[in-house]
Amino acid sequence: MENQTPKAGDQVTKGDRIAKVMARAGLASRREAERMIAAGRVSVNGKLIDSPALNVTAADKIVVDGADVGEPDMARLWLYHKPIGLVTTERDEKGRDTVFANLPKDLPRVMSVGRLDINSEGLLLMTNDGGVKRKLELPATGWLRKYRVRVNGRPNDKALDPLRKGVMVDGERFAPFDVAIDRQQGANAWLTISLREGKNREIRRAMDAVGLKVNRLIRVSYGPFRLGELKAGEVEEIKQRVIRDQLGMAAAPSQKPKPKPTRRRK
């Protein structure tokens, strides 16, 4: 088949970019989909394409590696209790164990909403939908993230005041934290910290700046979604009603969720 890219005048003005459609169908991330297109592995309506600059609708026939791309799954969201020791990436150049290698095998292709570093644990949201991911990650959305944090030392309110005002770390300004001392436990203190940003290792770096060393960090909630009693390594799907109420997103009437157990381990 001759490699052809539909001309700009032939492109459908309605619909979505083809890479987005492929991602929604669970085939790959948008970037991976773009690489597949560039490699000549994708055809639309019988024509091979080599550029992702194409909009498609449900009326278009998309074929990837000789197989038809089916109807995209509805937007879905899962709670995952990330254990310590996993990196939040699909592949790790250092060969470390990953979150995605430890998810249940019957989950569709999913993306993480933000990240937790290798030494952090707790709630990590997973979704099959790029729109949901972006909506939850956007700074303008301002979802409150709450953490239980154990630090070495005996902090008092005065020592934590700089965090409440916002600190500068390595030339980067952190927004004010909401921080409360829960209890002293021997040489360590437990704190509850809430913030609306998601900068790299933000809590650990901010604590270092005020002379406190974090030795445990657990995310317990992300916006309205809570870790609850979910055990390390467990996954629980959020009901469509909750997604609709909290995010204003729902499945199309013709789409029905596939029945799955609500809680399971690998």
The domain limits of the chain are 8-68, 74-142+225-266, 144-222
- Whether the pLDDT of residue 26 is over 60: the answer is yes
The top-level CATH class assigned to 8-68 is alpha beta
- Whether the pLDDT of residue 250 is over 80: the answer is no
98-126 confidence digits (pLDDT tens) = 999 999 988 888 889 999 999 999 999 99
- Whether the pLDDT of residue 79 is over 90: the answer is yes
Question: Which is more confident, 200 or 225?
Answer: 225
Question: Which is more confident, 15 or 235?
Answer: 235
- Whether the pLDDT of residue 226 is over 80: the answer is yes
Output the CATH code of domain 144-222.
Answer: 3.30.70.1560
Taking all residues of the chain, what is their mean pLDDT, rounded to a whole number?
Answer: 86
- Whether the pLDDT of residue 259 is over 50: the answer is no
1-10 confidence digits (pLDDT tens) = 444 444 444 4
Question: Which is more confident, 265 or 15?
Answer: 15
Q: Which residues contact 67 (CB under 8 A, 6 or more apart)?
A: none
Q: What is the DSSP string of the chain?
A: --B----GGGS-SSSEEHHHHHHHTTS--HHHHHHHHHTT-EEETTEE---S--EE-TTS-EEETTEE--PPPPP-EEEEEEPTT-BSSS--TT---BSGGGS-TTS-S-EESS---TT-EEEEEEES-HHHHHHHH-TTT---EEEEEEEES---HHHHHHHHH--EETTEEPPPPEEEEEEEETTEEEEEEEES---TTHHHHHHHHTT-EEEEEEEEEETTEE-TTPPTT-EEEPPHHHHHHHHS----TT--PPP--SEE--
Neighbours of 92 (CB within 10 A): 15
User: Does the fold of domain 144-222 match that of domain 74-142+225-266?
Assistant: yes
Which of 117, 129, 161, 182 is the catalytic position? 117
145-191 confidence digits (pLDDT tens) = 999 999 999 999 999 999 999 999 999 999 999 999 999 999 999 99
CB-count burial class (<10 Å; 0-12, 13-18, 19+) for 177 = buried
What does the pLDDT average to over 18-36? 82
pLDDT of residue 75: 86
pLDDT of residue 31: 83
Fold of 74-142+225-266: Alpha-Beta Plaits (3.30.70)
pLDDT of residue 254: 34
- Whether the pLDDT of residue 257 is over 60: the answer is no
Question: Which is more confident, 219 or 140?
Answer: 219
Go through 112-142 and write b for each residue having 16 or more CB atoms within 10 A of its CB, e for each that does not. bbebbbbebbbbbbbbbbbebbebbeeeeee
Question: Which is more confident, 129 or 9?
Answer: 129
Strand 168-169 versus strand 172-173 pairing type = antiparallel
31-77 confidence digits (pLDDT tens) = 888 999 999 999 999 999 999 999 998 889 999 998 888 776 788 99
What does the pLDDT average to over 193-220? 93
pLDDT of residue 262: 43
Question: Annotated catalytic, 117?
Answer: yes
